[in-house]
Structure 1
Amino acid sequence: MPIDVAKATAAPPRTTELTWDHKDVQLYHLGIGAGAPTPEKEHPATDPDELRYTLESALHVLPSFATVAGTGSPLLEQGRERGEGRAVAGGMAAPGIDVDLAAVLHGGQTVTVHRPLPVRGRATQTSTVPAVYDKTKAAVIVLRSEVADDDGPLWTCDTQIFVRGEGGFGGDRGPSARIQVPERAPDLTTERRIREDQALLYRLSGDWNPLHADPSFAKLAGFDRPILHGLCSYGVALKAVVDTALDGDVSRVRAYTTRFAGVVFPGETLRLRLWRDAPRPGRIQVLVTAADRDDAPVLADTVVDHT
């Protein structure tokens, strides 16, 4: 079996040095739509609140930047050559794991913030595989990356990788992460349009998978055209939550979790429904759908824990 569960979970931690600066932060923010018009801001490019995402002298860092800081996407790092089909970066290079990208889906993502992310940083990432779950027809690999600098812990990322065809090995099914959508109407509904070139810009932050840029590669994967990175939708949604429900203050975010429930095509509009204090104070539940496709699901089981 390509996944040796015992070997993967018992492997010693792997460490990587990460560095980033204001240009990386600004590029990431632009890649998730900073400076673009929204229902709340018709002319946002020079709005003081929006400049906190794009102007180096006023910069703050959205916590979802942790998913690309220093090394690009924690899910995969694929070369630009079309024939490369193995996940080779981060936890996917762990002993005991040898899977083809054709069978891999990004199932879910959690970022837990231990303190505000600095605009410039040098840190050490420690990667482990704490669990591999058996979903019968598929396996779910949990990749954990803990990042710290000289002042202590910065963030922890838990990435869930869904690998088709690798289940049925008799392992633990793992916990259920499904969250019931509140029966009441959302406290806030907003929309974010995804530009036609959004994936081309976002991929400059490190995820070179041609699925998000090359139409012929997308067709091989079963799509009519390139799709948006799931982690781009993840960032777009968090920025919308911060801007509309947390007074634009990124430091209030403590943790952010989602399950990737469907694809987004560049040019579409995301519809976000937000429930405050659901199911408890200090938590915002979010449902993200594709408004252009009858509210097809995009991000589900999504919560933002905050102060």
Structure 2
Amino acid sequence: MPIDPSVAIGADIGSTTFSWTESDVLLYHLGIGAGSHEGDHLAPAALRYTLDGPALQVLPTFGVVVPTFHETDPPPLDLPGCDINLAQVVHGSQSIAVSGPIPTSGTATVSTTLTDIWDKGKAAVVWQEGVATSPSGEELWRTRSSIFVKGEGGWGGDRGASDPVVLPVRDPDLLTSYDVTPQQALLYRLCGDRNPLHADPDFAKAAGFPAPILHGLCSYGIVLRELTDGLLGGDATLVRGFACRFSGVVFPGETIRVTGWREGDRIVAAAAVEGGERDGSPVLADCVLTVA
């Protein structure tokens, strides 16, 4: 069968050493909409994302993308025991936990393992975990992600756990929105994800979408930035982790509405499309931001 859990689960995908600079950080922040509000080019808080220098900070979601930041080919799917292609795949979930603020430049090595495969009947969910370490061996951050593989599954395997985040039944502490620009996906793909699903109209239609969709990791970064700005005073160094499930798609030109609640040392949140024919369509669910 195209996915063989006996081969895939526990497989070592290997290690990659990579480096990044302040320019990479700036491009990533611009790709997730930093500096887009009126007056941001003059505001010290906004310039912490978009101006190189001693005040520059790194939004932790950068750690998810930086290992492949300089890739110019579509992401490979040559995973052990998995015979799948890009047209079958959508991002299922993503999390990152950081040991401390990510440096604005540096070098690290990430080691990745396939940890689990769930059988959803008409689809399979493939889980990976990556650990990034400094040249001295110190853990910098840890990521966990899943991809949803359409057309696979049905072998009678474990369906996996379901642990939804329950949102408070009270007014949110934050209700904000971000207007996704028409060229947002074209800009964000320069952050190392050249999947044609986000740029090529013909490829998107073949995959079942009427037009290219925004990268899930772009929505992921946008939502964390909005939560950080709205509930943490824009201080990205306070973020220790961010997890979410990708519950729907965003098309460039739409607006993302972000709703967040403070709950002790964490923030729970959700994101949906705002306005238009798809008003209320989910974007991110089960969002949890952990705070230092």
TM range (shorter): over 0.9
Aligned residues between the structures: 288
User: Residue 45 of structure 1 aligns with which residue?
Assistant: 41
Q: 1:142 aligns with which of 120, 127, 152?
A: 127
Query: The residue matched to 1:203 in structure 2 has which SS?
Result: helix
8 Å Cα contact 2:16/2:67 also seen in 1: no
Superposed CA offset, 1:89-143 (max 9, x none): xxx4332122122221111101111121111111111010111112222211101
- Number of the residue aligned with 1:200: 186
Gap change, CA 1:78 and 1:140, over 3 Å in 2: farther
- Summarize deviations over 1:54-91 as a string: whole Å, max 9, x none: 11112110000012103139xxx7836xxxxxx52xxx
CA distance in 1, matches of 2:207, 2:282: 20
Work out whether 1:275 is the aligned partner of 2:269. Answer: no
How many angstroms does 1:291 deviate by? Answer: 0.3
Cα pair 1:246 1:252 within 8 Å, conserved = yes
Counterpart of 1:84 in structure 2 is: none
Tell me the residue number matched to 2:234.
248
* Structure 1 match to 2:205: 219
1:248-267: CA deviation from partner (whole Å, max 9, x where unpaired): 11111111111111111111
Q: In 2, are the aligned partners of 1:139 and 1:163 still within 8 Å (CA)? A: yes
Q: CA deviation at 1:170?
A: 2.3
SS of equivalent to 1:68: helix
How far apart are 1:180 and its partner, in Å? 2.2
What does residue 143 of structure 2 align with?
157
CA distance in 1, matches of 2:291, 2:235: 10
* Aligned partner of 2:272 among 289, 293, 296: 289
**Code of the aligned partner of 2:272:** T
Q: Which amino acid aligns with 2:62?
A: F
* Deviation (angstroms), 1:288: 0.4
Task: Determine which of 101, 125, 131 is the counterpart of 1:116.
Answer: 101
- Given that residues 61 and 119 in structure 1 are in contact (C-alpha distance below 8 angstroms), is that contact kept between their aligned partners in structure 2? yes
**What is the CA distance between 1:29 and its match in structure 2?**
0.3
Inter-partner Cα distance in structure 1 for 2:81 and 2:111? 17
Aligned counterparts of 1:127 and 1:222: Cα–Cα separation in 2? 30
Question: TM-score normalised to the size of structure 2?
Answer: 0.94
Work out whether 1:79 is the aligned partner of 2:64.
no
Q: Are 2:126 and 1:132 aligned? A: no
2:117 maps to a residue whose letter is V
Classify the secondary structure of the residue corresponding to 1:305: strand
Structure 1 residues 222 and 53: CA distance shift in structure 2, 3 A:
same
Unaligned runs of 5+ in 1: 81-86
Cα 1:165–1:222 shift into 2, 3 Å: closer
AA aligned opposite 1:259: R
**2:49–2:57 CA contact under 8 A, matched in 1:** yes
Q: Partner of 1:254: helix, strand, or coil?
A: strand
- CA separation of 1:207 and 1:287: change in aligned 2, threshold 3 A: same
Give the match for residue 228 of structure 1: 214
Is the Cα–Cα contact under 8 Å of residues 110 and 130 in structure 2 kept in the other structure? yes
Aligned to 1:28: 28
Q: Matches of 1:119 and 1:78 in 2, distance apart?
A: 22
206-215 vs 139-148, which moves further: 206-215
Q: CA separation in 2, counterparts of 1:15 and 1:28?
A: 23
Gaps of 5+ in 2: none
The alpha carbon displacement at 1:13 in A equals 5.0
Q: Which amino acid counterpart does residue 44 of structure 2 have in structure 1?
A: P
Backbone CA RMSD of aligned residues: 1.7
Percent identity of paired positions between Structure 1 and Structure 2: 49
8 Å CA contact retained: 1:78, 1:209? no
* Pair 1:101 & 2:101 matched: no
